[in-house]
Structure 1
Amino acid sequence: MTGASSGIGLVTARMAAQRGAKLVLAARNEDALQQLAAEIRRQGGQAVALIADVGEEDVIRIAEAAITEFGGFDTWVSNAGVSIFGSCEEVSIPDMRRMFDTNFWGVVYSSWLAVKHFKEGGSAGALINVGSFFGDRATPVQSTYSASKHALHGWTDALRMELEKEDAPVSVTLIHPGRIDTPYNEHARNYLPKQPSHVGVVYVPETVAEAIFFAAEHPKRDLFIGFQAKFFTMLGSVAERLTDKIMEAWMYPSQHDDRPSRSRDDNALYRPDYGLPERGTHHGWCRSGSLYVKAQ
């Protein structure tokens, strides 16, 4: 599990440990990871903490740790990610490149290693990549994030087809979260004068964890988290200009709170941010679950 020190990764790790999974927890925040691994072990679970930056090919050490500690792995979840709030013309090229290192190249490195392990081991395994609704439909304000997730989605879909064509023992699932109540907004690099926040419907991260667990046990192409994510993806494919207009009207006011922003340098783009928070500081309507996820 990459990105295990907060948000979706943290919630999924805790829930997976309760279900008896043996875990390799990967993130950049050493203190948070060590605390999480110790917490899981105190409760009778098995977990190894590994400090790793997926944007710098540290994923090799993640795979090696799983093999050394547990003899291998049957599920790899690529969850690490970070966002940037700002217009296409504002965000610097170095910031864009750094985000792609994490959101896209980290998934590529991870996918290579996971597929290689499953093929060489000869037993079925699950590769689960956490994308975004914004990987299906671009949005203003988070242009770079959308672009990185579009790239992630394209890579995942192409990889799935190639593996299916050769009948490889790997299921590849793409998770499409809508708005989720995580510290994603606090960890993002922000060019806006106001603090990023989800305004509107948001879902608890446990909803994403449920989808990840299902994908680990059942081959599934896609899982959309929240009906909104699926609805606007479908609407965008049949009514592109209408969807543009809706997003132009809604996405500017719904991605920030009426409060001052943290410093532009106070974020998790280049360094670890604070760890072990499951939830963010959003002012949206928080849903306790998703019937659409359960229907899938």
Structure 2
Amino acid sequence: MNQVPHNRNITLPTLQPQHTGLKSLKDQVIVITGASSGVGLVTARMAAARGAKVVAAARNEDALQKLVEELQNKGQTASYVKADVGREEDIQKIADTAINEYGSFDTWVNNAGVSIYGHAMDVSNDDMKRMFDTVFWGVVYGSKTAVKHFKERGVAGALINVGSLFGDRGTVIQSTYAAAKFAVHGWTESIRMELEKEQAPVSVTLIHPGRIDTPYNEHARSYLNKQPAHGGMIYPPEAVAEAILYSAEHEKRDIYVGSQAKVFELLGTLFPRLTDKIVESYMYPTQVDANRPSKPAEESALYHAGYGMHERGTNVGWVRQGSMTVKAAQNPVFSTAVAVGIGALALGLLRKKK
């Protein structure tokens, strides 16, 4: 048997920082897609309150006008762009507006999204393709536009893609959404490595939200008899906005919003078959409101803008006050404590399985 010489020198690659020096939020121009409701709306309000210049983009022009007027009446700086992120030319229109209005932009947040509730074999291919236009292709177009801008100006900028716990582990009923978010996660991880290798001036962050209390359920296309809604434990949109805005100022690879999201990923990795059974049991009853009939398909936001200016949805779960995992991402000591706690949970589940 061949022996490896003990004196062989093994050189490990030196990990060079991609870049340094993301601006303080008060000095930034931040682009936010899906800004007319939910997480995007909360993020726009929080960013403007902290001094950032906001470029809000969505399909609902009336809601965007109201948002910008609201912010400007508070002495804050904001502009809007009516845009469908599934159209590449609309993404360019967003970037052009930011550059024409403010000379540049410093953070680009790919947040726009819409879901489909229904069994995989029942969902039409046209609906699936349309949803991918928004959830996946919108992120691709936005990422390319933002990276091109940051490279051309040579100053560090932040690209923040909003994923999902269902992008880390599949689910029932929302199979199309999970598939699109899996694609978003794969795209984000891949471009991060490429950009890091070439030392491009771009910080790439993937946000992993758990189930969030937004109008997401109301905007979704439903094939079900009962109204889509989050049940069980859900998190406030402010927790996602906090993660996004922290990533705009600090280089973060990933931020999980809610231990729910991290545990879901961990379980799926360590105990895939057990997780299958948990999902099959838990996710059917906790994705609908059994007391309401589902809205007609034409009222969904799949093909046109949904209603705007609502931060919260009509969900039926227990809404947490915030997210410990987001706090942990901002505090190394707290982060270690949370990691130990999640590890202990996983170990306990492993022992039970044995």
TM bin, normalised by shorter chain, reads over 0.9
Distance (Å, rounded) in 2 between the aligned partners of 1:90 and 1:13: 36
Is 1:84 matched up with 2:116? yes
Aligned-pair CA distance for 1:79: 0.2
Secondary structure of 1:288's partner?
coil
Look up the equivalent residue of 1:86 and give its one-letter code: G
Equivalent runs, 1:88-107 vs 2, <5 Å: 88-107=120-139
Look up the equivalent residue of 2:298 and give its one-letter code: D
Q: How far does the alpha carbon of each residue in 1:206-251 deviate from its partner, in whole angstroms, 9 at most, with x for none?
A: 0001101110011111000000110110111011000000000000
Q: How far does the alpha carbon of each residue in 1:65-89 deviate from its partner, in whole angstroms, 9 at most, with x for none?
A: 0000000000000000000000110
Which of 258, 263, 278 is the aligned partner of 2:296? Answer: 263
Is 1:160 matched up with 2:192? yes
Is 1:51 matched up with 2:92? no
Aligned-pair CA distance for 1:111: 0.4
Which of 24, 39, 59 is the aligned partner of 1:28? Answer: 59
Is 1:295 matched up with 2:353? no
**Structure 1: tracts of 5 or more residues without a match:** none
| 2:71 alignment partner in structure 1 | 40
Distance (Å, rounded) in 1 between the aligned partners of 2:174 and 2:302: 14
Distance (Å, rounded) in 2 between the aligned partners of 1:65 and 1:120: 17
Which of 177, 182, 186 is the aligned partner of 2:218? Answer: 186
Distance (Å, rounded) in 2 between the aligned partners of 1:290 and 1:117: 32
Secondary structure of 1:295's partner?
helix
Equivalent runs, 1:104-123 vs 2, <5 Å: 104-123=136-155
| 2:285 alignment partner in structure 1 | 253
Secondary structure of 1:176's partner?
strand
RMSD: 0.5
Distance (Å, rounded) in 2 between the aligned partners of 1:123 and 1:290: 31
Distance (Å, rounded) in 2 between the aligned partners of 1:203 and 1:241: 27
| 2:344 alignment partner in structure 1 | none
Please, what TM-score do these two structures have when normalized by structure 2? Answer: 0.83
Structure 1 or 2, whichever has the larger Rg, is: 2
Q: Give the length in aligned residue pairs.
A: 296
Which of 202, 226, 229 is the aligned partner of 2:258? Answer: 226
Secondary structure of 1:223's partner?
strand
Secondary structure of 2:255's partner?
strand
Distance (Å, rounded) in 1 between the aligned partners of 2:46 and 2:246: 13
| 1:211 alignment partner in structure 2 | 243
Aligned-pair CA distance for 1:291: 1.6
| 1:65 alignment partner in structure 2 | 97
Distance (Å, rounded) in 2 between the aligned partners of 1:291 and 1:250: 23
Moved over 3 A (4+): none
| 1:177 alignment partner in structure 2 | 209
Look up the equivalent residue of 1:105 and give its one-letter code: W
| 2:351 alignment partner in structure 1 | none
Look up the equivalent residue of 2:307 and give its one-letter code: Y
Is 1:17 matched up with 2:56? no
| 1:285 alignment partner in structure 2 | 318
- 2:255/2:325 contact within 8 Å kept: no
Aligned-pair CA distance for 1:264: 1.6
Q: How far does the alpha carbon of each residue in 1:17-54 deviate from its partner, in whole angstroms, 9 at most, with x for none?
A: 00000011000001000000010000011111110000
| 1:6 alignment partner in structure 2 | 37
Look up the equivalent residue of 1:118 and give its one-letter code: F
| 2:4 alignment partner in structure 1 | none
Please, what TM-score do these two structures have when normalized by structure 1? Answer: 0.99
Look up the equivalent residue of 1:131 and give its one-letter code: G
Q: How far does the alpha carbon of each residue in 1:271-290 deviate from its partner, in whole angstroms, 9 at most, with x for none?
A: 01111000000010001101
Distance (Å, rounded) in 2 between the aligned partners of 1:223 and 1:115: 20
Aligned-pair CA distance for 1:292: 1.9
**Structure 2: tracts of 5 or more residues without a match:** 1-31, 330-354
Look up the equivalent residue of 1:199 and give its one-letter code: G
Secondary structure of 2:123's partner?
coil
Look up the equivalent residue of 2:266 and give its one-letter code: M
Is 1:139 matched up with 2:198? no
Distance (Å, rounded) in 2 between the aligned partners of 1:273 and 1:247: 29
